[in-house]
């Protein structure tokens, strides 16, 4: 394999034997090397292979994104692999380095981009968000620019989406669905949930598992096993209105019909955490 680009002493881009771009990491793999040198394969610890369209995106990124952001990304992935006990797909290098580059550009231009699903991300992906917080401190250490926790949230979602433990890459969709449903609940039940409350966390986690089922297209039994419970809950007209609105939202936007039992579980969670009578 031939070295194409050196990020730092421990990470490089190389051209593999079958002419594919590949990112290689390992202690000292780039030390005293230059483009065109052969790779010391005994120092390879991890390989991230890019194919077809991924290769084109990597080549474009290497031309447009400063090397330092790839260096930072490599350290973030290393930290995340340890803390989350997972490996990541190759495209995470492009996704995070490109995001950091864009975030730094926005910082320099004083353009504020709010993360509208930050609260949900904190609840649903706590470990990933903790790595995101570490990442913005590391970015500060390397660049002198302290990004805010909105960027930690975006990095957390990249970690969740590109984790090989999450084969369906649905973290962003799940988080968005959670936010939308919670907004329906608050609007209909006439009560605001504080993002740091136990009630918010309970409902968010239930919606996370629901969202993961929806986006995995898991077959759901439509056998109604909870009719008696739901019948009692229907005595609350506002709660019934809330469930109907959620059912309508999920059907229209995500083409998924909530089963009777799923509706019941939602009723129970909402009634418990919104303190409805």
Residue range(s) occupied by CATH 2.30.24.10 in the chain: 1-49
Mean pLDDT of the chain, nearest integer: 88
What superfamily does domain 171-274 belong to in CATH?
Answer: PRD domain (1.10.1790.10)
Position 130 scores a pLDDT of 97
Give me the DSSP letters along 33-63: --TTSBP-GGG--EEEE--THHHHHHHHHHH
Residue range(s) occupied by CATH 1.10.1790.10 in the chain: 53-169, 171-274
CB atoms closer than 10 angstroms to residue 117: 20
CA angle centred on 26, ends 60 and 51, rounded to 5°: 35
Percent pLDDT > 70 in the chain is: 96
pLDDT single digits (tens) 104-121: 988 998 888 778 788 888
pTM exceeds 0.85, yes or no: no
* pLDDT reading at 277 higher than 60: no
Which whole-number Å values give the CA distances from 149 to 51, 107, 134, 138, 204, in the listed order? 33, 13, 10, 13, 20
- Correct CATH for 53-169 of 3.30.1330.30, 1.10.1790.10, 2.40.50.100, 1.20.120.80: 1.10.1790.10
Q: What confidence tier does 68 reach under pLDDT thresholds 50, 70, 90? A: very high
Q: Which residue would you say has higher pLDDT here, 29 or 8?
A: 29
pLDDT single digits (tens) 158-208: 999 889 887 666 888 999 999 999 999 999 999 998 887 878 888 988 898
Position 228 scores a pLDDT of 77
Position 109 scores a pLDDT of 87
Question: Are 122 and 197 a contacting pair, CB within 8 Å?
Answer: no
For the structural domain made of 1-49, what CATH number should be given? 2.30.24.10
Q: How far is CA 31 from the centre of its chain?
A: 33
Tokens 């989406």 correspond to 161
């Amino acid at each position: 394999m031939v070295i194409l680009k050196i990020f730092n002493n421990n990470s490089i881009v190389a051209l593999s034997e079958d002419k594919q771009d590949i990112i290689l990491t390992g202690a000292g793999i780039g030390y005293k090397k230059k483009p065109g040198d052969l790779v010391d394969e005994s120092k390879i610890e991890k390989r991230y292979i890019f194919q077809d369209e991924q290769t084109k995106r990597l080549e474009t990124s290497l031309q447009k994104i400063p090397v330092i952001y790839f260096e930072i990304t490599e350290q973030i992935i290393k930290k995340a692999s340890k803390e989350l006990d997972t490996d990541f797909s190759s495209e995470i290098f492009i996704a995070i380095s490109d995001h950091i580059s864009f975030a730094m550009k926005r910082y320099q231009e004083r353009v504020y981009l709010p993360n509208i699903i930050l609260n949900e991300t904190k609840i649903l992906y706590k470990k990933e968000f903790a790595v995101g917080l570490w990442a913005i401190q590391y970015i500060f250490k390397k660049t002198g620019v302290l990004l805010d926790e909105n960027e930690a949230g975006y990095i957390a979602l990249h970690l969740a989406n590109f984790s090989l433990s999450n084969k369906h890459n649905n973290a962003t969709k799940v988080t968005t669905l959670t936010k939308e449903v919670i907004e329906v609940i608050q609007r209909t039940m006439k009560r605001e949930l504080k993002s740091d409350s136990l009630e918010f966390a309970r409902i968010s986690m239930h919606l996370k598992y629901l969202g993961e089922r929806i986006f995995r297209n898991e077959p759901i039994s439509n056998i109604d096993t909870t009719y008696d419970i739901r019948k009692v809950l229907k005595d609350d007209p506002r709660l019934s209105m809330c469930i109907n609105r959620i059912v309508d939202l999920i059907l229209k936007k995500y083409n998924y019909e909530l089963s009777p039992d799923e509706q019941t579980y939602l009723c129970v969670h909402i009634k418990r955490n919104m303190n409805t009578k």
